[in-house]
Amino acid sequence: MAFSANLFHVCCLIFFAFFFTNPIKCVDGEGPLPALFVFGDSILDVGNNNYINTTTQFQANWSPYGETFFKSPTGRPCDGRLISDFIAEFANLSLIPAFFEIGTDKFLHGVNFASSGSGCLVETNRGIVIDLQTQLTHFNEVVELLVNKLGSQQSQQLLTDAVYMFSTGSNDYAFPYLTNPKKFPFPKEQFSEMVLGNFTAILQAIYNKGGRKFIIFTLPPEGCSPGGRAFNAQIGGKSGECMQELSGLLEMHSNALPKRLTQLQQNFKGFNFTLFDLYKLFTQRIDNPSKYGFNVSIEACCGTGAFKGINSCGGKRQVKDYELCKNVTDYVFFDASHPTETANQQFAQLLWNGTTDVIAPHNLKSFFQL
């Protein structure tokens, strides 16, 4: 006890000496707060796609996106904050900036690399998203910046204490499925092996840089989003029903995650992970909205057509017509496939300190306590 308390004290003094040039936050008598590095898709994209050559399909930097909390659009595909924004708040960190907005010194509490439309495979929406491999390249650039700023020893400590958050995979399945909804164009098991293989390779690469604490989201039930229901009707499915085949693929991936992650833990000393069941939390709210304080779960707040499932929110994409709901807090979905801030807040709270039925084996709070 005494030893570790002293260590924290020394650590904080070292960081105090750096404070004027390097404002790493310290809690009284403790070390610096663990940083948060965020990877993945639109569930976590805080504006990276504002800076790349893409299509408006994968952007959201116009009103009414951002209206609830930021009062102006940021690129987040939501009316307000995303799960990672709430987690930063719970962890006493400032908002984690998009990679393209870190400037010369805003990367010491973590960086967000996520890109809407991206997946684990480079082929997924290739050319118009930042795939996970490229997100890793961006992370490696940040590691260089950290080493230059803090020196190798302190940057190593920062990388080891940091938390690495991932929401990735659903676009790998949605992309080929939506292009060919009649028949998934690959053998499913093999395809899933390939997606998972690429995903775990990224985790290993971060481990090799010093990363130890990984938080992985299961895939959201895209087939039951307003967009999924609308698309299902378009391709001749029963009106209002979910795209079962897509949901099945996403579930298959999610079900394979625990074994894959356990293998990594067995093979790599100190590799630590926890799995967040976003699929379950989303599904609970879609199936039983009133139990969670919502009253609309199959229709989006913003969009047009059946279930407002046509992705037209803000009128800047292909379809220009859109309607915006009066009270966004009534809704689970803000647009055709993305949760509202209210839903994100509930998810983040459960990710932070929920019970093992949704976050296991560790809650995220324990990852932020050194």
Ligand X SMILES: *[C@@H]1O[C@H](CO)[C@@H](O)[C@H](O)[C@H]1NC(C)=O
Residues forming the active site: 42, 335, 338
DSSP notation for 60-81: --STTTTTTTTSS--S-SSSS-
Q: Does residue 295 bind ligand X (CB under 6 A)?
A: yes
**Minimum distance from CB of 280 to ligand X (Å)?**
15
Closest CA relative to residue 277, chosen from 329, 215, 224 = 215
Q: Does residue 272 bind ligand X (CB under 6 A)?
A: yes
| Residue 95 or 147 with smaller CB distance to ligand X | 95
Q: Does residue 194 bind ligand X (CB under 6 A)?
A: yes
Q: Does residue 89 bind ligand X (CB under 6 A)?
A: no
Mapping DSSP to helix (H, G, I), strand (E, B) and coil, where does residue 150 land? Answer: helix
What whole-number distance in Å separates Cα of residue 25 and Cα of residue 13? 12
Question: How many Cα neighbours within 13 Å face the side chain of 51?
Answer: 14
| Binding to ligand X, residues 24-43 (CB under 6 A) | 27
Determine which residue in the list 11, 26, 95, 122 makes contact with ligand X, applying CB under 6 A: 122
| Residue 141 or 330 with smaller CB distance to ligand X | 330
What whole-number distance in Å separates Cα of residue 201 and Cα of residue 44? 20
What whole-number distance in Å separates Cα of residue 231 and Cα of residue 214? 34
Instruction: Report the Cα 49 to chain-centroid distance in Å.
Output: 14
Determine which residue in the list 204, 268, 329, 360 makes contact with ligand X, applying CB under 6 A: 329
Determine which residue in the list 38, 60, 91, 129 makes contact with ligand X, applying CB under 6 A: 91
Binding region for ligand X (CB under 6 A) out of 3-11, 80-88, 115-123, 223-231: 115-123
Per-residue binding letters, 163-182, with ligand X (x by CB under 6 A): --------------------
Cα torsion 302, 308, 313, 315 to 10°: value is -130
Q: Does residue 240 bind ligand X (CB under 6 A)?
A: no
Binding region for ligand X (CB under 6 A) out of 38-46, 107-115, 193-201, 256-264: 193-201
What whole-number distance in Å separates Cα of residue 255 and Cα of residue 274? 14
| Residue 22 or 204 with smaller CB distance to ligand X | 204
Q: Does residue 153 bind ligand X (CB under 6 A)?
A: no
| Residue 247 or 344 with smaller CB distance to ligand X | 344
Residue least distant from ligand X (Cβ): 197
Q: Does residue 251 bind ligand X (CB under 6 A)?
A: no
User: In one letter, which amino acid is 28?
Assistant: D
Number of residues that bind ligand X (CB under 6 A): 25
Q: Does residue 355 bind ligand X (CB under 6 A)?
A: yes
What whole-number distance in Å separates Cα of residue 270 and Cα of residue 305? 50
**How far is residue 244 from each of residues 55, 228, 310, measured CA to CA in Å?**
28, 9, 19
Q: Does residue 290 bind ligand X (CB under 6 A)?
A: no
The tokens for 188 are 């499913």
Mapping DSSP to helix (H, G, I), strand (E, B) and coil, where does residue 103 land? Answer: coil
Cα torsion 217, 219, 220, 223 to 10°: value is 180
Binding site for ligand X (CB under 6 A): 27, 53, 91-92, 121-123, 194, 197-198, 201, 270, 272, 295-296, 327, 329-330, 353-355, 362, 366-368
